[in-house]
């Protein structure tokens, strides 16, 4: 049905229009220093157009964030929500060993939220992260929902033909590594659910800084884009997955896909220092959080023994840690703690 602006009630005419919002987005994106030569048409037409490079393959992923399933409006500032919506997709591209290039973001928001600056703040967080990694926003969609906020994030990237790193290609003898540290995102979620929130900037005492560190792992995950590109381009990873559901679940997925087993050593796990320090006092078990807690968005990858010495020590300041080894599938997925060895079952991460 055609809508005639002159027949709309004054309140609607005065309210923020989708057209103005999209136009301001288009202008913001056009004003950033990112100017990709391969982009032919971005925001503003019916669809985006980009040139694919010879010898490259396109890698593409989608993630849906639903209010009260994946985040809570009351505890997630819009800026950080925008960051996270893009971060989870960048993490998937990194886990393929590819370089992220393009972002499409679709948002559904209830009318009352639409009339606030929520969407602008969301894109502040999203575009700051996008600019940091040279990713360009090239489109999306904007609509209304009855109650809950919904954000769909699509990211496309590329890798050299034949170099995408699958989950399924690990072999017995490969060494297992993870980037960064484990457990803080899940600890952050538990603490947020118990009422913890980010400190005001003016508070700077040591304990609230440590608490913020943990909460920000949940609210502002850092995708391992640099590591993904290095591991893919240098063909160092034989298999890779990002840790969205927890080490136990994602390692089991990688092993099932590759029809292999794994033996990891709990003493080698890079449990986040602040989780060890703060969570013991709060009756949260750091090892359980590191093993079964979700949303760390670190990369879990395998490397042939002869390639281990070629791994860089750190990328973008982020270190890696060897945590175990791929074994035959008949031996299962196991973890040692001291002299004991257990089967490591998927932890079954549920957000809320
Ligand atoms: P259409 O009706 O053809 O889908 P829209 O008005 O929805 O047109 O979109 C116009 C342009 O704005 C398109 O290039 C689209 O990709 C872009 N766009 C719309 N909403 C968003 C959004 N939330 N984020 C980024 N780009 C958007
Ligand atoms: Mg549209």
In angstroms, what is the span from residue 143 Cα to ligand 2's centroid? 8
State the chain's mean pLDDT as an integer.
Answer: 91
Ligand number, closest to the Cα atom of 46: 1
Q: 50-101 pLDDT, tens per residue?
A: 999 999 999 999 999 999 999 999 989 999 999 999 999 999 999 999 999 9
Q: Which ligand is nearest to the CA of 139?
A: 1
What spacing in Å lies between the alpha carbon of 271 and ligand 2's midpoint?
A: 43
Query: What's the 232 CA to ligand 2 centre distance in angstroms?
Result: 34
Q: Report the nearest-CA residue for atom 27 of ligand 1.
A: 140
Residue from 19, 22, 123 to probe ligand 1 pocket by mutation (most atoms less than 8 Å from CB)? 22
pTM above 0.85, yes or no: yes
Return the structure tokens found at 251. 């390692």
b/e burial code for range 44-78 (CB count within 10 A of at least 16 → b): eeeebebeeeeebbebbbebebebeebbeeebbbb
CA distance 318 to 296: 14
| 273 C-alpha to ligand 1 centroid (Å) | 43
Confidence at residue 34, expressed as pLDDT on a 0 to 100 scale: 66
Tokens matching residue 205: 């005492």
pLDDT digits 0-9 by tens, 196-246? 888 766 556 777 888 899 999 999 999 999 999 999 999 999 999 999 999
Mutate which of 139, 145, 154, 155 to test ligand 1's pocket (most atoms within 8 Å of Cβ)? 139
Q: What is the pLDDT of residue 106?
A: 98
Which ligand is nearest to the Cα of residue 122, counting in written order? Answer: 1
According to DSSP, residue 199 is labeled P
Ligand 1 site, CB within 6 A: 22, 25, 43-46, 105-107, 137, 139-142
pLDDT in tens, 24-39: 999 999 887 667 788 9
């Amino acid at each position: 049905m055609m809508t005639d602006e002159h027949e709309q009630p004054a309140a609607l005419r005065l309210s923020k229009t989708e057209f103005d919002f999209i136009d301001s987005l288009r202008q913001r994106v056009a004003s950033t220093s990112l100017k990709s030569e391969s982009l032919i048409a971005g925001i503003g037409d019916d669809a985006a157009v980009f040139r694919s490079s010879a010898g490259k393959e396109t890698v593409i992923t989608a993630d849906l964030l639903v209010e009260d399933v994946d985040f809570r409006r009351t505890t997630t500032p819009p800026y950080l929500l925008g960051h996270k919506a893009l971060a989870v997709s960048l993490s998937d591209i990194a886990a393929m060993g590819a370089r992220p290039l393009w972002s499409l973001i679709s948002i559904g928001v209830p009318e009352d939220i639409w009339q606030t600056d929520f969407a602008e703040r969301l894109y502040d967080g999203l575009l700051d992260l996008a600019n940091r990694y040279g990713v360009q926003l090239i489109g999306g969609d904007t609509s209304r929902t009855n109650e809950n906020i919904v954000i769909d994030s699509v990211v496309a990237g590329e890798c050299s033909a034949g170099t995408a790193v699958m989950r399924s290609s690990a072999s017995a003898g490969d060494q297992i590594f993870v980037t960064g540290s484990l457990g803080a995102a899940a600890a952050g979620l538990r603490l947020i659910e118990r009422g913890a929130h980010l400190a005001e900037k003016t508070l700077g005492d040591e304990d609230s800084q440590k608490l913020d560190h943990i909460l920000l792992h949940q609210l502002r995950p850092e995708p391992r884009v640099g590591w993904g590109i290095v591991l893919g381009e240098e063909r160092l990873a034989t298999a890779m997955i990002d840790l969205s559901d927890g080490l136990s679940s994602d390692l089991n997925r990688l092993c099932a896909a590759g029809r292999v087993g794994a033996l990891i050593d709990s003493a080698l796990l890079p449990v986040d220092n602040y989780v060890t320090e703060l969570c013991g006092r709060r009756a949260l078990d750091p090892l359980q959080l590191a093993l079964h807690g979700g949303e760390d968005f670190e990369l879990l990858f395998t490397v042939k023994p002869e390639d281990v010495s070629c791994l860089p020590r750190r990328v973008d300041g982020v270190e890696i840690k060897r945590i175990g080894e791929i074994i035959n599938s008949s031996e299962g997925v196991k973890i040692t703690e001291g002299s004991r060895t257990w089967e490591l079952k998927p932890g079954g991460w549920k957000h809320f």
